[in-house]
Amino acid sequence: MKYQILLVVALAFVVGCGGSGQEVADAPAEPAAGPAIKLEVEIPEPMPVPEYVEPESDTDWVARVNNKDKEIVEILNIITPIAAYITVGFDQYGDRFSPTLDEEWVDTQAQLTSALTLYEDCKGRIAEGVADKDLFLDMENVWQILVKTGVAGVRTKSMVDSELTKFAG
């Protein structure tokens, strides 16, 4: 179930970002459907993804925590470019964006901050050698918040694109 949700979120991000570069390269010459104002965004380097470790049992918390960390890093690698895009949009045009978009971005940032704060706590516990059920459950909570944040991020990016299109038109 978790992997299906992750797949749906990843698909939503790809669609929200305009698809893969190959689709753009193969597309016939026609007017762009995206915003007329193009943002110059420096995409951050993706974080290294931990290798999957096969748990030896249901209580192999070291492996389970590692694998949950892998899932968290994978979703952070999806969310980070979207957040960078939205941030640049707000840096350049934030004073012109609607109050609804402002509110959506504030909510998205609050979710992301919540997830990252808990994730930092979890990484600190991992560094101390803690690997137990409580840590795993906290990391599961981080993952769930990040999935919700990803959905909110796609929605916010679409709103940014829509408003940029209005500014250009």
Predicted pLDDT of residue 33: 55
Closest by CA position to 164, among listed 78, 88, 81, 80 = 88
> What rounded mean pLDDT belongs to the chain?
85
Buried b (16+ CB within 10 A) or exposed e, 110-133: ebbebbeebbeebeebbeeeebee
Domain boundaries, given as residue ranges, for the chain: 64-169
> Per-residue pLDDT for 124 more than 60?
yes
pLDDT in tens, 9-39: 444 444 444 444 433 334 334 444 556 788 9
Higher pLDDT, 5 or 36: 36
CB 150: neighbour CB atoms within 10 A?
27
> Per-residue pLDDT for 42 more than 90?
yes
**pLDDT band at residue 169 using 50, 70 and 90 as cut-offs:** confident
CB 157: neighbour CB atoms within 10 A?
22
pLDDT in tens, 154-164: 999 999 999 99
Q: Whole-angstrom Cα distance, residue 165 to residue 169?
A: 6
N-term to C-term CA, the chain: 42
Predicted pLDDT of residue 84: 96
